[in-house]
Chain A
Amino acid sequence: MIPSMPRPLAYRLIYGAYVTLFFVYLALPLAVVAVFAFNDSVFPALPWEGFTWNWFFGDARPQIGVFHERRILRAIGTSVLVGACVSALSLVVGTSNAFLFNRYRFRGRGLLYVLMLLPLVIPGIVLGISILVFSSTVANAAWDAWEWDLVALRPGLVLVILGQFSFITTIATLVISARLQKFDRSLEEAALNLGAGRLTAVRTVTLPFLAPALVGAFVVAFLMSFENFNTTLMLVGSDAPLTIAMFDRLKEGSTPLLNAVSLLLMLGSSVLALTMIVFQRR
């Protein structure tokens, strides 16, 4: 079973084949999506009609490429905006949470910690509808009481950001807490002894130590926001982020345009993930 225990050749061959098959299974759908982005046909399907770049750069019907397709480009912009807001917010709250749970012992700490973890075990669609319901309760109450029209609380980008933030913060908190636990408090105390104020000590000693986790949490939050579907689906208004825009497209019928967008997404997230790994190594 382990290398130090010799096993029959047949056993090892079958095991090796199984693992290989598993990785083929993992790679196949993505490889297929990538390859058909270059098919010179209006369907991402067989037969193969030849190689083309049109689904990226084409500007004439029926092959309008990604870079000439307004709706997709706008959706990418929306997703980037939402992702940046969500990651920034959850990074701030996540860091604050990590410090709270690491530095303070208080009554109700255990309960709050479990509550903090809960968003991970609530189905995304339920998070979405609960925020939708509550925000419209508030918006309706504001209208009934003072005739204020709180547009921000109607389905739209603000709600999408809040909805994604509500569970991504948990992940940011866990990532940052894991690193903060490894921090040696005596370094901070040394800074205090040398005359630094508490805030200066945290800013010049603790935060630089946390930097890799902060970058990691930001990237993870951004990617999770970018690819989130369930929560977003329930809260989206007229400005659709990319996953929703692609979903609407896919329901109408697919063209290799979607493959091209998907390929760009794969490249984008690999670059981000690699950046993160490089940062972690430093």
Chain B
Amino acid sequence: MRAGTRLGFVLLIAPLLLWLVLLIVIPHVDLALLSLRERVGVGEYAVSMANYRTFLDEPLYLWTFLRTAVMAVLATAITLVIGFPVSFYIAKIARGRVQSALFLLCLVPFWVSELVRTFGWMILLRETGLISGLLQWLGLTDGPVEMLYNDAAMMVGLVYTSMLFMVVPLVTTLESLDDGIIEAGYDLGGSGPSVLREIIIPHAVPGIVAGSIVVFMLSLGNYLTPTMLGGKDSLWFTELIYSQFIVRFNWELGAAFGFLLLVLSSVIVWAMLRLTGQTLEKTMGSA
């Protein structure tokens, strides 16, 4: 490199390194160190696995952790199943103006904050809400029905909140599939389901992976939706982190929880990439 470009290189790499080292790498190392710290006396600390043992010994913590993981996977699967036909419709069936209008319509709800979306579902689902009112008006129920504060309501909210992040990558990959290939599948004697299974889904894998990773991440790390729509029994792991940090001020245990959440999400994202032979650069770069 010439002297001039060398200086340019240093100037360009400096902000990147400052950002990544000071705000991403060191804070996470510090978080890991804090999670390995145990308070043994006033102002005295020792390195130990005590916080992780607490996590394993307390059934509520472990149970919440597993439940959050399973529910986040479930939310991702439901989002995919609901979003796929719509993405296919937008990418392959709608044409011209209708196509771009439908695509834009998909984006619109996500320009407002998650809080507003959750609030909308609260108005719809609660005892004095619209759906309860509609059911009474139709004479299907005698009294008000409470549909809020349970797992189903929470699931509706989670799926709603992350739909965009599934539909956009799916539409992008499905659009790149040549209609001729689908026609060829039929010409060769394929039926609807077999064309879907043999041609369309394999082609859409990059989009499915990109969408699923983002949706899974967002669901796992969600705090607002489980808090507002979930009930007493639908405790989410992020709520435990929040309560250790802000309510109980037990940062050591909170750090351990945070680290566990990070490990869980990394492992599942990694597994998803491995199973489908994708890489993070490819999936995220295109999403």
Interface code A71-108, partner B: CB below 8 Å = 1, 0 otherwise? 00000000000000000000011001101100110100
Q: List 28 A-B contacts (CB under 8 A).
A: A1-B92, A1-B182, A5-B182, A19-B89, A28-B120, A29-B124, A30-B109, A30-B120, A32-B124, A44-B123, A115-B20, A116-B20, A117-B281, A121-B213, A123-B220, A125-B223, A125-B261, A126-B262, A130-B28, A132-B245, A133-B251, A133-B255, A134-B26, A229-B113, A230-B221, A233-B242, A250-B228, A262-B119
A23 to B90 alpha-carbon distance, docked (Å) = 12
B138 close to A (CB within 8 Å): no
Decide if A23 touches B115 in the complex (CB within 8 Å).
no
Decide if B182 touches A126 in the complex (CB within 8 Å).
no
Total interface residues on A, CB under 8 Å, equals: 84
Q: Quick check: which of A49-57, A162-170, A183-191, A204-212 contacts chain B, the rest being far away?
A: A162-170
B85, B105, B123, most chain A CB atoms within 10 A: B123
Within 8 A of A (CB), among B228-287: 228, 238, 241-242, 245-246, 251, 254-255, 258-259, 261-262, 265-266, 269, 280-281, 284-285
Decide if B224 touches A229 in the complex (CB within 8 Å).
yes
In the complex, the 6 A-B pairs of residues with the closest C-beta atoms, listed nearest first: A29-B120, A123-B221, A227-B113, A130-B27, A134-B27, A269-B111
Contacts A112-B16, A120-B284 known; A33 to B116 CB distance under 8 Å? yes
A194 close to B (CB within 8 Å): no
A113 to B13 alpha-carbon distance, docked (Å) = 12
Q: Is the interface of A mostly helix, strand, loop or mixed?
A: helix
Interface code A235-255, partner B: CB below 8 Å = 1, 0 otherwise? 000000011001100100010
A64 close to B (CB within 8 Å): no
Decide if A125 touches B93 in the complex (CB within 8 Å).
no
A15 to B284 alpha-carbon distance, docked (Å) = 31
